[in-house]
A and B are shown apart, each in its own frame.
Chain A
Amino acid sequence: AQTVTQSQPEMSVQEAETVTLSCTYDTSENNYYLFWYKQPPSRQMILVIRQEAYKQQNATENRFSVNFQKAAKSFSLKISDSQLGDTAMYFCAFMKLQTGANNLFFGTGTRLTVIP
């Protein structure tokens, strides 16, 4: 079974600073996908960034980037130049490479607060 662990229940960062959210996962699969989703107070789960495990290059999306360490099964999210709108719950998620249902396995989330 796949498990996703986010060891930081809450974090805060000063506006314009950089913050890194941690995520580790456990799997016996070799090919899979990893995601970071953001859930603001509106409760909608919004995709932040996605990484294919077969790609060595870390994914980046504007101010968001990941540090993917496959051997260590680590997938951290770095937010640069933090903005007030980044305040939200952040969920790390794992998806197996398989046919049929695309099931996302989620961590318990990290609540990020950006302080003005």
Chain B
Amino acid sequence: ETGVTQTPRHLVMGMTNKKSLKCEQHLGHNAMYWYKQSAKKPLELMFVYNFKEQTENNSVPSRFSPECPNSSHLFLHLHTLQPEDSALYLCASSRDSGTTGNTIYFGEGSWLTVV
């Protein structure tokens, strides 16, 4: 049982498609994150939201568009992706990214394949 749930777990999309990944946390946290996990590379932070406000964009291409309507939900909108964007996308949350050292809890990830 995870406090951070992601849907869909698997997604295959064409380069011209528009799709979205959804994340919901049930932990009462205020900060949410998107990470990208590619083969043979360390996890990369993409975006951070704290109290619904974006506090970090780690030089992510504009074909990835995050949305955080409230502290419990986080979306990643995808459009005109490239095959190299195929990866596992992990959502995470923590109590408050403005307070240092809070443990970050992860969801199970969404496998994305771009064809």
Contacts and interface: CB of A to CB of B under 8 A. Distances in A.
B71 interface: no
Nearest to B105: A47
Contact of A105 (B42, B102, B106): B42
A53 B106 CA distance: 23
B100 A45 contact: no
Interface stretch (A56-64, A65-73, A96-104): A96-104
Contacts, number: 68
B48 A101 contact: yes
Nearest to B41: A108
B42 A102 contact: no
Contact of B103 (A42, A47, A103, A108): A47
B42 A44 contact: no
Given A35-B103, A104-B45, A44 B97 contact: no
Given A45-B106, A47-B103, A47-B105, 17 more contacts: A4-B42, A33-B101, A46-B106, A96-B100, A99-B100, A101-B45, A101-B55, A101-B97, A102-B100, A102-B101, A102-B102, A103-B48, A103-B56, A104-B43, A105-B42, A108-B40, A109-B42
